Chain A
Amino acid sequence: MTPTSSSHTLLMNKIMSLSMANRMYEPMLFNNNYVLELIELEFIKLDGRKVNPDLLLKNETLNRLLFVECKDGSLEPDQANRYKEMAMEDIIVAKLISNLSEESKHEITYIATDKKVEKLKIGMDKESLVFPILVSKDSIISLHHNHFDCGVLQEIFSRGVSSKRYSDTLYPFGADDSDAYILHRLVPALLSFIGGEFDPKDLLEKTFPRVYSIIGRPAQKELAGRIGHILEKAEKDKILSDFFITAVEKKFKLRAGGIRKLNNALNKYINGKLGSGSAQVDFSRF
């Protein structure tokens, strides 16, 4: 059985898929002019406090912005209150995106899975916050709590939006993902290094070029360290040990040839030995 991603990775990919053009499924947000603008944002408000929502969508037709926080767990009150105090002026002055004016509107929504959404709702009510909360349940994303200011969002999420099909290409994995899932997503890059030497950062750069380019050096090192640890365990395992040979210039080397055998062995190891548990090391957001 294929390992599954963390809830954070899943929710990120679902919202991104809904907000970009696609023929494979109906991107309901994109079709209603809410288009993905930025991911993994971080900016400073005028009061000097930092905000870092996961996603920003822009609706040029309605002159509106939607910030999305993929939060499969308890509410972080401090973070939520920073969102509450965020004004349009903060966004305009930060020059996050072009063509904004005092008339532009913004709102913030949280999204969680059905397993954790009640926790989030309780936290929200406790802080007397009124951010709309979306829930992803049975391949439908719908409004679970509070309401949107934007009538379009209120309408489409009150009805529910199908997310049965979504793409996981744009956000392969995050810090919350399990070792099994991360290795599973590294398989194509590993196959591409057959016969050659590589370091964990080479795998990351190949698999995750888009995100890898924006994460800072300490986070890069931390993530590469985790992947190094996953591979060190893998090369010692009897399923995979024959495929690894001594590297001279870099940390790892895979024996030349046998691409199908290596692919099968990696899948056997991932599904058999690693299982699909959650991350063993708690890494800060990268």
Chain B
Amino acid sequence: MSAIQRIGDTGDLRSYLEDVLDKKRYKKEEGEESTAFKGKIKTYLIESNSPNLNSLKQDRVLIKDTPDKNLKVFMFNKNGKNYELYLDTTDERFWRIYSLYESEKTQKIINNWVLRNNSKLDFVWFPSSLLEKYMGLGTETGFSLKYINKFSTNGDKRINVSMRFWGDGGKDILESLRKNTPMGKGTSLSGISLNYPVEKGFAKENISYFGRFTLLSATSIDAHFILLERIKRNYSNIIQMIESNHRVEGYKTGFGMRLKSNPLYIEFPKEIEDLEDFVNIVFSAKLPFRLSGTIEKSSDDFYRIHAVDLHSNGLVDFEVAPNLMAIYLNDKSCGNIIMRLVTNMQSFMDQKIKLVSNDDPDVFKSYSVNE
């Protein structure tokens, strides 16, 4: 019997995932890098700006309703094998997609939903500094790094580095790597592994920089849900803080208009040498930045960009100087763009890139994971 025949609501889904975790199917493969994530429960957190579910239709993908209006099942066949993904939209802003398959089997389908223009969907993006904070929620058991110097100019050699470390003492290893030249700037975390304690148990998880939670082992599926919810709430608070405090807002008074502008900034630790190249890459309408618009060169060291965020179609203005990028969110723009930019710039430029505001020299550093 297919799982869908048994799953009528999110409670059934929980029981089903508990069964998967419980039974022999959940093999103990820790430490074996190539197969460690195979067949594991994976939950993707997806940031949603309320798209029409019909827009998620893809060729050869069937969307099945369940008695629970917040739960859908996506069914498709790939190379003769049937796949089912479960979409839980209980939290309207942060959806969850559950998968039991290897990432390469389903990632393309998920990418097609999330990353096409005007999907109104985005991944949640964890900047390296935030992932490092999430390490502290439990006992660190490993990390992974990924770095491509996408913005290299002046004929710099293309660097494409990835690395996974399993074991205790990850933070210390990371620190020593950061002191290393030229490795230092390429030490942006692309994933962390941690052992998250809950009452009478634990969840051993791998969390990727684009919001994929892979459950490696656990005493109960609830431990996975608790960690997921905790991080989702923290992330949601950050987005809420961005959208409440950093959108340009104006309102009419009896005598004129009052404006509130409190831009956010991405601070580059080293000056960008070729600013023109930089803005042409970021605002090329391509992944991962998903930004298009008009580029105005004010001077060699100052550009203005009036852009559209292709994930939500919200308008965002930018000013770019060699050491700083100012971001002005329009009054309806989605705050997730900030997370997408910081995370990917850390991966493609330098892990020391920081998000700053007029009042705060390091927004993520001063943001508590317990908020």
Same complex: yes
Decide if A213 is an interface residue (CB 8 Å cutoff). yes
How many angstroms between the C-alpha atoms of A60 and B196 in the bound complex?
51
CB nearest neighbor in B for A207: B315
Q: Contact between A210 and B248 (Cβ–Cβ < 8 Å)?
A: yes
Decide if B210 is an interface residue (CB 8 Å cutoff). no
How many angstroms between the C-alpha atoms of A184 and B263 in the bound complex?
23
How many angstroms between the C-alpha atoms of A210 and B317 in the bound complex?
14
How many Å from the CB of A215 to the closest CB on chain B? 10
Collect the chain A residues with CB atoms within 8 Å of residue B294's CB.
2, 184-185, 187-188, 263, 267
CB nearest neighbor in A for B359: A21
CB nearest neighbor in A for B250: A210
Q: Contact between B255 and A38 (Cβ–Cβ < 8 Å)?
A: yes
Q: Contact between A260 and B285 (Cβ–Cβ < 8 Å)?
A: yes
- Using a CB-CB cutoff of 8 Å, which residues 175-207 of chain A contact chain B? 184-185, 187-189, 191-192, 194-195, 206-207
Chain A interface bracket (under 10, 10 to 19, 20 to 34, 35 or more): 35 or more
- Selected from B251, B254, B263, B284, the residue in CB contact (under 8 A) with A22 is B263
Q: Mark contacts of B308-325 with chain A using CB atoms, 8 A cut-off: 1 yes-contact digit, 0 otherwise.
A: 101001110101010010
Decide if B299 is an interface residue (CB 8 Å cutoff). yes
- Using a CB-CB cutoff of 8 Å, which residues 319-367 of chain B contact chain A? 319, 321, 324, 326, 328, 330-332, 356, 358
Q: Contact between B358 and A22 (Cβ–Cβ < 8 Å)?
A: yes
Q: Is the interface of A mostly helix, strand, loop or mixed?
A: mixed
Collect the chain A residues with CB atoms within 8 Å of residue B263's CB.
22, 24
Decide if B306 is an interface residue (CB 8 Å cutoff). yes
Q: Contact between A259 and B299 (Cβ–Cβ < 8 Å)?
A: no
Residues of B within 8 Å of A, CB-based: how many? 47
Q: Contact between A259 and B117 (Cβ–Cβ < 8 Å)?
A: yes
How many Å from the CB of B67 to the closest CB on chain A? 34
Collect the chain B residues with CB atoms within 8 Å of residue A24's CB.
263, 265, 319, 321, 324, 326
Q: Contact between B249 and A210 (Cβ–Cβ < 8 Å)?
A: yes
- Selected from A21, A94, A192, A259, the residue in CB contact (under 8 A) with B255 is A94
> With contacts A2-B297, A38-B253, A214-B256 known, is A259 near B356, CB below 8 A?
no
Decide if A169 is an interface residue (CB 8 Å cutoff). yes
Collect the chain A residues with CB atoms within 8 Å of residue B356's CB.
23
Q: Contact between B292 and A39 (Cβ–Cβ < 8 Å)?
A: no
Decide if A40 is an interface residue (CB 8 Å cutoff). yes
* 6 other A-B residue contacts (CB within 8 Å) besides A2-B296, A191-B293: A2-B297, A23-B324, A23-B356, A42-B255, A206-B330, A213-B250
Residues of A in contact with B (beta carbons under 8 Å apart): 2, 16, 20-24, 36-43, 56, 94-96, 164-165, 167-170, 172, 184-185, 187-189, 191-192, 194-195, 206-207, 209-211, 213-214, 259-260, 263, 267
Residues of B in contact with A (beta carbons under 8 Å apart): 117-118, 248-259, 261-263, 265, 284-285, 292-294, 296-299, 302, 304, 306-308, 310, 313-315, 317, 319, 321, 324, 326, 328, 330-332, 356, 358
